[in-house]
Structure 1
Amino acid sequence: MLQVVWFKRDLRLEDHAALCAAAIRDRILPLVIVEPDYWRQPDVSARQWNFWRGCIADLGEAIAAKGGQLCVRVGDAVETLAAIRAVHGPFVLRAHEETGNAWTFERDKAVRRWCKAEGIAFEESRQFGVWRRRRVNRDRWAQGWDRMMAMPAQPAPPLLMWERGESNPLPDAAALGLADDGLQVAPIWGRAEALATLHSFLHERGEHYTSEMSSPVSGEAACSRLSWHLAYGSLSIREAYQAAQARYRELPLSEKAWRQSLRSFIARLHWHCHFIQKLESEPEAEYRPMARLYEGLRPRSADAVKLQAWGEGRTGYPFIDAAMRYLNATGWINFRMRAMLMSFASYDLWLPWQESGRALARKFIDYEPGIHWPQCQMQAGETGINTIRIYSPVKQGYDQDPQGNFIRRWVPELASVPDAYLHEPWKLDAETRAQLYPDYPDRIVDHAAAAKAAKDAIYALRRKPEARAEAKAVVQKHGSRKRTADRKRAGAKADQLKLAF
């Protein structure tokens, strides 16, 4: 029977369980569905589609090189599958499991209902070390992840029998109603780039990953930069894990920096799936705090003026604004800066994490909902279990950009400010400020006062008996069960935004 392989965020032929299962059975119709309704959601953007589109085109070339043709359809998933059935007859639908946003969650449920009603088998394969079903035994989760990552990565099937289907052209962003979002530096997509990036990190760039990944200056090169390749599946996480393990084993004991960096990287691959498992186990975490006691802690709707100033990098805090402008221009920023930006929105500006989270999601080319949403509410202090981390925007600036080079590059309005005042320009007198940077805003809030108010509000809730009881339930459902020394060492970093490896 015809095998329809539905490619979603797994745009490769290698280590593709659904494709391998189909290849040993019958003819394959490789399918990508471009869903306009998805691209109308508030957490997606043109920069994401353009990268995704490039990955789809790259997949099409890989299939063409093996004698097939990628079938691209634009429209609703259920209607697309029904149209394929009308032309090609009964089939088996195969895909990887996907932990996406609420829209894709409902889409997948609709597809399953249609398949059941039509007598179509819908077989899903595991892609990450993430288990379906809400009830997952966290005591055994880590061992399951280890076993899956240790299984051999599957090469592309050598023999593939293709079915050809009617295909639509890949639309551009404008055709999907996506406006230009200010991206200035477009990343390179596709399988070859993913492999080259992995190799350069493991053999050239990654030696000082552990010590250099926190600064936006050094992190640009020291981080692996694999996050968007993993998010769209041009590289599997198992391939990255096994390549890192192989590199680690070949390193001599004298290469201490390299070995420590690779241990850190491997631990973060584990955390990648750990966080996706949270959203898989509790899809409501996209819009509800894991600890329900925190519902209503912040205003239901964000202060529009503050949200816009934060999103444009015009808060009056130079390091915050430099980081946001860098993200706006490149679609990526390192994990420490992601945590800092979310912390500032959540505590200094007291914005609901759902709205600031959507704004950040649109900016991230590597948006991975399963990581993004648990991390957003963690940074906002609404999980009930994690340490409240309120980042000082001034201290972070001095720590991560001591010479101010990053600030001067991304906030050119401050180019004439003396070094001694660059991180705190408000300490200059009003006349000097007006002369040196007339177009840069004053501080939107006072950090010390805002941080105190935020702490007071959150700890007032945490002291309640019901908060302690709820925290125990959250730990039982979502808490990490670290099993190795490496994971224990990495645990202190678990409250950072791990998507930006």
Structure 2
Amino acid sequence: MRAPGVVWFKRDLRVADHPPLAEAATRGPVLALYVIEPELWQQPDSSGRHWQWLRARLQSLAAELGQLGLPLCILRGEVPEMLRQIQEETGIAALYSHEEVGNAWTYARDRRVAAWLRKEGIPWYEFPQDGVVRPLRDRDLWQTQRDRFMRAPIPPTPSTIFSAGLPRGSIDPEQLPEWPSPHLGDGLASKHLPLATPRRAQDLVSDFLVNRQRHYLRGMSSPISAQRYCSRLSPYLALGIVSSRQVVQAVTAAQRQQPGQRGLQGLQARLAWRGHFMQKLEDEPRIEFENLQHALDGLREAEFDAARFHAWARGETGFPLVDACMRFLQATGWINFRMRAMLVSFSSYALWLHWREPALHLARLFLDYEPGIHYPQVQMQAGTTGINALRIYNVTKQAQELDPEGEFIRRWVPELAQLPAPWVQQPWLLPESSAKRLGVVLGENYPFPIVSLAQATRHARGRILAARREITARQEAQQTLQRHGSRKRSSRAARAPDDGRQLDLFS
């Protein structure tokens, strides 16, 4: 038998719109490979709920590939070693995969894979996805290149694929381990997961295009209405169960039939925004670890307050909407964008925490964790990019506007369930006698506010803006804007980066 082409699945766990699979199928026998990498699951951004979601998808992917006559080979170990094993058993004609905008560990792993392939003389064919351009030589051209990719015809899914068989040690998808690394039994497992299939993703797309898009822009901000009206596609996009190109083309077709629908325009903009942020991490991987603006180095790092961090992470800050959002996220693995931004803003300004540890905690909680979006977004909300206006949320005002009756707070902070609005949004204002009668004793069954919000945020704003006004900081910001900023509304982009306005980040 001819040596197979190995299709290496990573975070592109689908059969449709999978150019590496389609290309390999035209060239001869195929080995579909997924490698469980123990070291990856020991990284600080990994969690049990990520594994649960992946495990469910590997099982459904195996069934979909099986319908094409292709078994899914699942091995456990380091990728170069697994490829070496396959090379010894059957040979490898070529390796096919998608490019990945992952964390620093996956980038280093890909370099090790590339080195091994070069040594063995095996070609590696990598295909772009998500509109990310590698390498991007000119940011001014990114939008055109991204849009061209999204408009490109989706390659047909092979009807049958000539299988190369399974190598020794392949794991039966129905016998996958409960955890790939012992530390993942960390309490972050989810009791309820979405159905990990492309059909479910397609159903979500269809329902959004027909029904939910009418309420999308109006309902996306509140943690209550967002559950009903957001697309809820992010976990499927993050694991590649559905491609961003499939969704973009479905929305585009709906726009032709329903011109002028603002909800459809809104989703298209956010899909482009997704690619814009992924391109940032692709272009500058240090964003995962370092302040994008070095002028802010040392401001928060030296004063990291572990007690404040743990109170925030547990949802015990004494600010009801913050605590409700964190507990909701802990339970479900998802929360809407506005509340994600609020959680980061609160940790960064009110609690004066450096963004790195909160970012890792949120990464472990998010079922839809996408490194390319996550780290640039966290830095934007933390005020460390140098090119965005500071987004400092008044969390009490947010509670009053987005949960005016206290419905969400009472559901997720049951200690306050007996309090009526407006006291449920700010229980510290309720007279002590009334609070005790309603079963709330601050400092006993619900904490006092962890900080004075107005004083803490005023202090944070002053320190950051003072650092950003330094001439070296302003020069650095202009360089960052040139490299990463949106190319829309360039006249706005030319303004001073800390003039109080949020730059347009949609591309």
TM-score, L = length of structure 1:
0.93
Partner residue of 1:488?
none
Matched, 1:121 2:126: no
8 Å CA contact retained: 2:320, 2:409:
yes
3-state DSSP class of the match of 2:32? strand
Of 277, 280, 298, the residue aligned with 1:278 is 280
Decide whether aligned partners of structure 1 residues 494 and 31 sit closer, same or farther in structure 2, where only a CA change above 3 A counts: farther
Cα deviation code 1:140-191 (max 9, x no counterpart):
1001111111111223122421111131245334342211315343222121
Deviations 1:51-87 (A, max 9, x none): 1111111110011111121000011111111111010
Tell whether the 8 Å contact from 1:142 to 1:483 is kept in structure 2 after alignment. Answer: no
Measured against aligned partners, the alpha-carbon deviations of 1:233-290 in whole angstroms (never above 9, x if no partner) come to 1101010000001111112x5xx6xx10000100111010100000000011100111
Deviations 1:398-432 (A, max 9, x none): 11111110111111110112323111110123444
* Corresponding residue for residue 176 of structure 1: 181
Partner residue, 2:493: none
User: Separation in 2 of the partners of 1:325 and 1:446?
Assistant: 22
Query: Residues 463 and 301 (structure 1 numbering): CA distance in 2 closer, same or farther, change over 3 Å?
Result: closer
CA distance in 1, matches of 2:247, 2:254: 11
Distance 1:300 1:368, change over 3 A: farther
2:241 corresponds in structure 1 to 234
Partner of 1:481: 487
Partner of 2:255: 248
- 1:142-291 correspondence to structure 2 within 5 Å: 142-166=143-167, 167-170=170-173, 171-177=176-182, 178-179=184-185, 180-181=187-188, 183-251=190-258, 259-291=261-293
**What are the ranges of 5 or more consecutive residues in structure 1 without an aligned counterpart?**
485-490
Deviates more, 1:159-168 or 1:29-38: 159-168
Contact 2:6 2:92 in 1 (8 A): no
Q: Deviations over 1:275-334 (max 9, x none)?
A: 000000001110011111111121257422111111111110001111111111100000
Secondary structure of residue in 2 paired with 1:198: helix
Counterparts of 2:455 and 2:156 in 1: how far apart (Å)? 56
Which aligned pairs between 1:420-435 and structure 2 lie closer than 5 A?
Answer: 420-435=422-437
> Structure 2 counterpart of 1:174, which letter?
W
Tell me which amino acid in the other structure corresponds to 2:256: R
Over 3 Å counting, the alpha-carbon distance change for 1:301 and 1:458 in structure 2 is closer
Residues 325-370 of structure 1: per-residue CA shift (max 9 Å, x gap): 1111100000000000000011111111111000000000000000
Identity level (%): 44
The alpha-carbon distance between structure 1 residues 169 and 494, as it changes in their structure 2 partners (threshold 3 A), is farther
Which runs of 5 or more structure 2 residues have no equivalent in the other structure?
Answer: 491-500
The counterpart of 1:446, out of the listed 449, 452, 458, is 452
Match of 1:456 among 442, 456, 462: 462
Q: Counterpart of 2:362 in 1: which secondary structure? A: helix
Which of 400, 403, 417 is equivalent to 1:401?
Answer: 403
The match for 1:487 is none
> In structure 1, what is the Cα distance between the partners aligned to 2:337 and 2:320?
18
Comparing 429-438 with 372-381, which one deviates more in the overlay?
429-438
Specify the alignment match of 1:107 in structure 2.
109
430, 437, 440: which one aligns with 2:440: 437
| Partner amino acid, structure 1, of 2:157 | A
The CA RMSD over aligned residues, in Å, is 1.9
Q: CA deviation at 1:493?
A: 8.9
Is the 8 Å Cα contact of residues 348 and 450 (structure 1) preserved in structure 2? yes
**Corresponding residue for 1:377?**
379
Any residues of structure 2 matched to 1:275-354 within 5 Å, and which? 275-300=277-302, 302-354=304-356
Cα separation, 1, equivalents of 2:34 and 2:143 = 32
What is the alpha-carbon distance in structure 2 between the residues aligned to residue 418 and residue 213 of structure 1?
25
**Number of equivalenced pairs:** 485
| Counterpart-to-counterpart distance in 2, 1:105 and 1:440 | 44
Letter in 2 for 1:327: L
Residue 83, structure 1, aligned to residue 90, structure 2: no
Bigger shift: residues 433-442 or 203-212 = 433-442
Of structures 1 and 2, the one with the larger relative CO (CA 8 A, separation 6+) is 1
1:36 equivalent in structure 2? 38
